[in-house]
Chains A and B, each alone.
Chain A
Amino acid sequence: MNTPSQDVWVYVEHPNGVVAPHTYELLGKGRDLAQALGGRLVAVLLGHDVASLAQTLGTADLVLSVDHQRLASFTPDAHARTVRALGESAMPRLLLCGATSAGIDLASLLSALVPVPMVVNVRAIEVEGGRVITTSQLCGGKLLCEMELTGCTVLTVLAGAFPAEAGFATRGAPVESMAAPAALDQAPVHVLRLIEPAGEDVDITRVSILIAVGRGIQRKENLQLAEELAGLLAGAVCASRPVIDQGWLPLSRQVGKSGMVVKPALYLALGISGAPEHLEGMRNAELIVAVNTDAGAPIFNVAHYGVVGDMFEVIPALMAQLRERKAA
């Protein structure tokens, strides 16, 4: 039987050998939670040859590390069973994972293996008199659900829910190296290789940040502005039908009734008036920001934020701001 401690664990994701920004968000929030609960903040670091990463995890009181060749690339089985082994003696009060590709697999599998309850898509966590209250997002954000957690719980947390700065640290934390479970050597799930996306063909339905251009872009040459902004945000450029008709972008970039239906985390619409046929393709995007010279443009009825202005002034200013913040 596992007796939960009051510790808060954060599962560290480190794609490409660097700790993910989202993990810092969890560490920052985890710090506050551990304090409120009277427990320790523990960073759970699984991988191979990742000792150096512990240097940036100083927000935590302790880094629980398991180093094994079979943990180098993420597979749900290897990582979940290793975390379960770590929790054998004492499961934490909370295990925070990102609501990411790796995080949701790990959390679900672990939750059933231990077993331990789980809450997904969390965007707020509070401690009220020793009780933990979470708020989750459901149905594409149309519903919010407040939960009171009972005992040890695994949470998957939405990106951007908490500030990453609160989790940064310039010093490291003490590292406790744990042995990997014996069965890991025979684990039958193997990562064969990593597939990088092909250069040309972008599937805009799978990109989480889209910069969309409409008639307001006026000329093909002006697309470069959108491309630059997309590059800064690691997104892709898409367009409403009139731009595609001109042949300025391929059909694969068309958003709307006669194009793709997209649900990105950010849809930044530049010079798009918001005809019903276009809205059909993007109105369920999580965050819609529209820039248009016309204050009466219908796009402002579905956008979350609106800027009435000339995109050729606003976007360069925005890019300058973004560069500043990224450098900081």
Chain B
Amino acid sequence: MLSASPRPWQHEFNPCIQCGICGGSCPLGHVMDHTPRRVIHLAKEGLLDEVLRTTTPWLCVSCYTCAARCPSGLKITDLLFPALRDAALTAGLQPPSEVKRALDNTYRYGNPFGEGPRKRLEWAKGAGVSVPVISQVKRRVDVLWIVECYPAYHPRNQRQAQAMARLFHALGVDFAVLGPEEHCIGDCERLAGEHGLFESLVEYNAGLLERYEYGEIVTSDPHAMNSLKRVYPAMGHRYPTVHYVEYLARHLETLRPLLRRPLRARVTYHDNCCLGRACGIYEAPRDLLRAIPGVALVEMPFTRETSLCCGGGGAGMWLDTTIWQAAHERLSDRRIAHALATGADILAVSCPFETSRFEDALKSTGNDGRLVVRDILELLDESVAARSEVQA
């Protein structure tokens, strides 16, 4: 008996009417041995072992499509799959090795890359502007910017962090970062089923944030926002948090006159899951893009609530091989086709996972060069500064 789980999460799913909308909507439902609907049914019947022995627990990318559509309002994404994964780990079943490495690294170093904490501010060296660290600034700041792990450590995403820093300066924002003290907010670790690791991250981050004075938290990572806004409060930690698209859209009238250099491109925007379905933010990113002179915004098929996940969420970044083995396609490959169909020159994104996933998808599908992938930050930054070439 594997699933002697002490957690009574099964009862949360009593209202399930077994309609099947979750499995029908799930982008990977067709390759799961058991769809979410079946899993809920099996859980209630005490037959969870059947699910734990399959790869099903590890095929969820936390896109929130099922949760957004469930007529009973069940928290399938936030409760069901993390609970399955937790049950698997507690029963001694081994997670895919990539997930194991990411979790081990986060536990030890506070980031899934296993990079040294002291290197968390390396990206700032290439920003061209100063990046104050709140522990050194030693006073209240208006904005505490939580950079998060991918923008800090991943070479492709560091350019986005650098763009954000320059934008803050251009807007005259009084901001600071946490620097080497920063640890992962833990959204993906939570969704990966490691509730113990998530709890220890919450404890650490709460202790850290309590030490400083700031007006609000701005983060460049939708996943960090997802947990800070929707999960940390339930654990007793409430912080005023916005994603950068909300912050910049709020200050659009100050930003707009700075957007001098026209971009002259057809741009299409991919709604990511955490900003979109999880938090309902669809207009702010579009407002920002429309503010850039020369941008013609075109919409892909499946936007806003119906957007198709890039496949990176909820430990998806650490499940590439597992999902590939089951599905023989990547969700990002499927989605890039939608972007290409618009004839756009630029695919704009606002989640750090997406940049490399979509750039990779262009190569894998043989479409390299047909469009470029840019974070909204990079596009705004380009328009603000007199920059020569769009960096390939």
Q: Which residues of A contact B (CB under 8 A)?
A: 215, 241-242, 245, 251, 254, 257-259, 261, 275-277, 280, 298
Determine the main DSSP class of A at the interface with B. Answer: helix
**CB atoms of B363 and A254 under 8 A apart:** no
Q: State the CA gap A259–B156 with chains docked (Å).
A: 20
Q: Chain B contact residues (Cβ within 8 angstroms of A): what range?
A: 10 to 19
Of B101, B156, B318, B363, which one neighbours A276 at CB under 8 angstroms?
B156
CB of A258 within 8 A of CB of B155, answer no
User: Measured between alpha carbons, how far is A275 from B364 in the docked complex, in Å?
Assistant: 14
Residues of A within 8 A of B364 (CB): 242, 245
B321 at the A/B interface (Cβ < 8 Å)? yes
The answer, yes or no, to whether B325 is at the interface (CB within 8 Å) is yes
B320 with A276: CB separation less than 8 A: no
Kindly report which residue of chain B lies nearest to residue A274, judged by CB atoms: B155
User: From A254, which residue of chain B is reached at the shortest CB distance?
Assistant: B321
**Least Cβ–Cβ distance between A289 and chain B, in angstroms:** 22
16 A–B contacts, CB within 8 A, in A order: A242-B363, A242-B364, A245-B324, A251-B321, A251-B325, A254-B321, A257-B318, A258-B98, A258-B318, A258-B320, A258-B324, A261-B101, A275-B360, A276-B154, A276-B356, A277-B356
The chain A residue sitting closest to B102, CB to CB, is A257
Instruction: Choose one: B113, B321, B356; the contact of A258 (CB below 8 Å).
Output: B321
Cα distance A254–B320 when bound, in Å? 12
Docked pose: A294 CA to B163 CA in angstroms: 27
The answer on a CB contact under 8 Å between B363 and A298 is: no
Of chain A, the residue at the smallest CB distance from B320 is A258
Q: In the bound complex, how far is the Cα of B98 from the Cα of A154, in angstroms?
A: 41
Closest A residue, CB atoms, query B113: A280
Q: Which residues of A contact B113 (CB under 8 A)?
A: 280
Q: Which 6 A-B pairs have the closest CB atoms?
A: A258-B320, A258-B321, A258-B98, A276-B155, A276-B154, A257-B98
Tell me how far the C-beta of B183 lies from the nearest C-beta in chain A, rounded to whole angstroms: 20
Q: Verify B363–A241 contact, CB threshold 8 A.
A: no
CB distance from B125 to the nearest CB of A (A): 16
| A192 to B279 CA separation, bound complex (whole angstroms) | 65
Complex Cα distance, B325 from A276, in Å, reads: 21
CB contacts (< 8 Å) of B321 on chain A: these are: 241, 251, 254, 258-259
Tell me the minimal C-beta distance from B266 to chain A in angstroms.
Answer: 27
Q: Which residues of B contact A258 (CB under 8 A)?
A: 98, 318, 320-321, 324
